[in-house]
């Protein structure tokens, strides 16, 4: 069997990341330089700061990824890079870097869709996972229910109409004084709370059964908090966090269950930053057991942004003959 070694680069948001992945599944290194501490000062990602930090870090992150893998640039068969969607300035750093390496070292270039990367994170630790399968991508920017019909071929069954699931976590966290990034903080305090304490809405959308909406839930939480403050009632942060998280979990599980039944899928995967949430993961696992389907999920470190997932996706694009030229550009609103 042929061995394809890919150097992957990811810089779409606030992580500068590089990885070496062999044959799409074998992760040899995975280096992530997180900017979270920097952006926490401002309560969210500041695009201009993100771009500048990527420029500062990218060379050293790539060098580390190659050295961790015990390989050199000359060993690489391709360079895979995220070219969208994401912050345009942040994406441009990775794209320009990848093009420079591709040109200088004469290595083929493959442009990768960020969401395709998140989905492909599942290939790394699950050698038996093969399309077709259903995947729920829940991140800070996206909430997509996707049917993966083949490698590189996707059918979007549903998407969010407003806020992404991770965005809702981040906004609610801010409202209850937990700060950025909200997801992990809400999960942590939710363990001390009662998920049934407050009944928040579970949004149903009449047409387009598989679409999501989280802005109503976010407003319900804000209204609840305002009501408590006006009536001088105490706010139990842990109960709000746990109840909000339960509402998101119920909606995600409900949509996934219906799609599994309608599309007769026997494998279901989750992906994206929110997929690292233990409560959501446990609920999905339980639902999959009830439905008799196999459940897949990446390790938490492969759920949030990383380059190994880009290397996995790039491999399947590469063997399908897809190549990018030196005219590859960042596409901030790239569609799947
Ligand atoms: O996939 P990701 O790293 O970046 C995007 O592509 O958006 O996802 C980041 C999002 C943030 O909104 C963050 O709050 C959320 O994932 N997140 C979580 C958890 N860890 C990260 N949400 C819920 N529970 C978590 N444990
Ligand atoms: Zn992401």
The interface pTM score, or ipTM, of the predicted complex is 0.99
Ligand 1 atom nearest residue 181's Cα: 14
Ligand nearest to the CA of 15: 1
Please check whether residues 36 and 15 belong to one and the same domain. Answer: yes
Binding site membership of 10 for ligand 1 (Cβ less than 6 Å): no
Ligand 1 atom nearest residue 170's Cα: 14
Residue 310 lies in a domain: yes
The domain tally of the chain equals 2
Q: CATH number of the domain at 116, please.
A: 3.30.420.40
Please check whether residues 294 and 147 belong to one and the same domain. Answer: yes
- Cis-peptide into 181, omega within 30 deg: yes
pLDDT at 208: 67
- Closest by CA to 296, choosing from 89, 132, 184, is 132
| Residues with Cβ–ion distance below 5 A, ligand 2 | 139, 305
| Token pair for 57 | 């870090």
Tell me the pLDDT of the chain (336 aa) as tens digits: 689 999 999 999 999 999 999 999 999 999 999 998 899 888 889 999 999 999 999 999 999 999 999 999 999 999 999 999 999 999 999 999 999 999 999 999 999 999 999 999 999 999 999 999 999 999 999 999 999 999 999 999 999 999 999 999 999 999 999 988 899 999 999 999 999 999 999 987 766 689 999 999 999 999 999 999 999 999 999 999 999 999 999 999 999 999 999 999 999 999 999 999 999 999 999 999 999 999 999 999 999 999 999 999 999 999 999 999 999 999 999 999
Binding site membership of 163 for ligand 1 (Cβ less than 6 Å): no
pLDDT at 40: 87
Q: What is the dihedral of CA 220, 221, 225, 230, to 10 degrees?
A: 0
pLDDT at 207: 67
Please check whether residues 201 and 109 belong to one and the same domain. Answer: no
Query: Which positions make up the binding site for Fe cation?
Result: 114, 118, 305
Please check whether residues 278 and 246 belong to one and the same domain. Answer: yes
Residue 190 lies in a domain: yes
Task: Please state, in angstroms and rounded to a whole number, the distance separating the CA atoms of residues 286 and 240.
Answer: 24
This model's pTM is above 0.90: yes
Residue 326 lies in a domain: no
Ligand nearest to the CA of 168: 1
Give the number of other Cβ atoms within 10 Å of residue 156's Cβ. Answer: 14
Please check whether residues 210 and 311 belong to one and the same domain. Answer: no
Q: 286 C-alpha to center of ligand 2: Å?
A: 25
User: Which residues make beta-bridge pairs with 156?
Assistant: 146
- Phi first, then psi: give them for residue 189, nearest 5 degrees: -75, -25
Please check whether residues 92 and 12 belong to one and the same domain. Answer: yes
- Looking at the chain, the number of H-run helices and the number of E-run strands are 11, 10
pLDDT at 187: 98
Range of the domain at 253: 130-300
Please check whether residues 10 and 113 belong to one and the same domain. Answer: yes
Residue 135 lies in a domain: yes
Residue 137 lies in a domain: yes
Binding site membership of 274 for ligand 1 (Cβ less than 6 Å): yes
């Amino acid at each position: 069997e042929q061995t394809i070694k890919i150097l992957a680069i990811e810089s779409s948001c606030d992580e500068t990341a590089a990885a070496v992945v062999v044959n799409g599944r074998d992760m040899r290194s995975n280096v992530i330089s997180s900017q979270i501490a920097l952006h926490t000062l401002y309560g969210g990602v500041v695009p201009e700061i993100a771009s500048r930090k990527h420029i500062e870090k990218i060379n050293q992150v790539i060098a580390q990824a190659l050295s961790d893998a015990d390989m050199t640039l000359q060993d690489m068969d391709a360079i895979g890079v995220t070219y969208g969607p994401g912050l345009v300035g942040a994406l441009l750093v990775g794209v320009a870097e990848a093009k420079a390496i591709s040109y200088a070292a004469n290595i083929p270039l493959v442009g990768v869709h960020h969401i395709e990367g998140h989905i492909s994170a599942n290939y790394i630790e699950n050698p038996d996972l093969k399309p077709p399968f259903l995947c729920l991508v829940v991140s800070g920017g996206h909430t997509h229910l996707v049917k993966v019909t083949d490698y590189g071929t996707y059918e979007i069954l549903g998407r969010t109409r407003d806020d992404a699931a991770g965005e809702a976590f981040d906004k609610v966290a801010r409202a209850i004084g937990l700060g950025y990034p909200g997801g992990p903080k809400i999960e942590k305090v939710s363990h001390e709370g009662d998920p049934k304490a407050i009944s928040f809405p579970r949004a149903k959308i009449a047409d387009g059964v598989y679409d999501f909406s989280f802005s109503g839930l976010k407003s319900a939480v804000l209204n609840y908090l305002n009501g408590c403050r006006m009536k001088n009632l105490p706010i139990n942060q842990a109960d709000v966090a746990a109840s909000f998280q339960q509402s998101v979990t119920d909606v995600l599980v409900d949509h996934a269950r219906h799609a599994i039944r309608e599309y007769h899928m026997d494998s279901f995967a989750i992906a994206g930053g929110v997929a690292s949430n233990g409560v959501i993961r446990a609920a999905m696992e339980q639902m999959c057991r009830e439905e008799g389907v196999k459940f897949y999920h990446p390790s938490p470190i492969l759920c949030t942004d990383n380059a190994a997932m880009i290397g996995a996706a790039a491999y399947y694009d590469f063997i399908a003959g897809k190549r990018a030229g030196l005219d590859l550009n960042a596409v901030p609103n790239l569609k799947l």
